[in-house]
Structure 1
Amino acid sequence: MNIRKMEEKDHDFILGLSSRFNEFEFMSWRDPEKMDEAQIMMAKEAIQNPNSIIFVAEDEFNQLLGYLHVTTMSDYFTGVEQGYVSSIAVAKEGEGKGVGRKLMEKAEEWAKSKGYQQLVLNVFDKNERALKMYQQLGFEKEIIKMVKEI
């Protein structure tokens, strides 16, 4: 498996994968159509931003298997800069092949190269598959957002 920086030819693949972010159950008040629209918008913004750092994973036959978008954020409480995994998605063809793990290793490598002490991400609580992978990679829950419909 090869992980490389995004090229222009990868744009449609990345936009197409944005729907994978919504393949689990959301809270009842979230509109699935609006969630799809938001994911596509975020992917477009990442692709169009010249400062974006997007990596794609491909197999030995150049079949695209997934992508990773990383950026920098500052911790709200301390102001310390951290590496941030803005998005990571794996194509169905890449499931079970370690693509997600390899992309997360790339995220760690990138964050270390920037001198960051932490790599952070957000994940929906009901995205159990992603949560399990992140926990296996050593990520810990820190802040939990609570929501009550009223």
Structure 2
Amino acid sequence: MNLSKAIVKQKIDFTMNRINFRPAEINDLPTLYEFEQGIISAERPYDPTLKIEHINYYDIRAMIESNDTEVIVALCNNEIIASGYVKINNAKPYLKFNKYGYIGFMYVKPEYRGKGISRKVIEKLKLWAQSRNLNELRLDVYEDNSKAVSAYEKFGFKKHLVEMRIEI
């Protein structure tokens, strides 16, 4: 490994040592609302069906208060820098399992991206799902969002179904 790669790895390791994870709290809502808008802005280029005006994907307050959803935040120096959630969903009656965990609300502040933080968030969400006796995690990602697809594949997710559409 050359010196510059060693320095980058050292910086990443140092950064990861300073990052803590915890369940989201109601007083985190202002930051989490900003993260939601960041997700929507990032996804607009991939989805021409989104309304142009201000939209929301989530009821974040309800997610935090729900017993069937775990919202995780990552903190660096007491600043929230990332988020994600896993929700217990009922499976279709024809599947092998009754319930599964659905992952979403994955966001990392731009200056912290590429440091493995989203992977750590998913690991925490996976542990929570396992504590609830779930053995399947699912998520949705835009097929053309190659960075996100690649990140999820590195974690072990596999493409399963492609949703298709046509305007008429």
Q: Same fold (TM over 0.5)?
A: yes
Of 127, 141, 146, 1:109 maps to 127
What is the CA-CA distance between 1:10 and the residue it aligns to? 1.1
What is the CA-CA distance between 1:45 and the residue it aligns to? 4.0
- CA separation in 1, counterparts of 2:117 and 2:52? 26
- CA separation in 1, counterparts of 2:52 and 2:46? 8
Matches within 5 A, 1:1-150: 1-22=19-40, 23-24=42-43, 25-33=45-53, 36-39=54-57, 41-47=58-64, 49-51=65-67, 52-59=69-76, 61-76=77-92, 77-78=94-95, 80-150=98-168
Comparing 96-105 and 122-131, the one that deviates more: 122-131
Contact map agreement 1:53 1:71 (CA 8 A) in 2:
yes
SS of 1:71's partner is strand
SS of 2:165's partner is coil
State the number of aligned residues. 145
Q: Deviations over 1:19-59 (max 9, x none)?
A: 222314124343343xx5132x5335424x44342111012
Q: Deviations over 1:70-125 (max 9, x none)?
A: 11012223252111113221112321221111101111111111111111111122
SS of 2:100's partner is strand
The code of the aligned residue for 2:162 comes to I
Unaligned residue ranges in structure 1 (runs of 5+): none
1:136 to 1:142, Cα distance in 2 relative to 1, 3 A: same
Give TM-score scaled by structure 1 length: 0.85
CA RMSD between the two structures: 1.9
- CA separation in 1, counterparts of 2:104 and 2:38? 14
1:118 to 1:50, Cα distance in 2 relative to 1, 3 A: closer
Unaligned residue ranges in structure 2 (runs of 5+): 1-18
Structure 1 runs of 4+ with >4 Å offset: none
- CA separation in 2, counterparts of 1:45 and 1:111? 18
SS of 1:106's partner is helix
Give TM-score scaled by structure 2 length: 0.76
Identity %: 26
- CA separation in 2, counterparts of 1:126 and 1:32? 20
Greater Rg, structure 1 or structure 2? 2
The code of the aligned residue for 1:21 comes to I
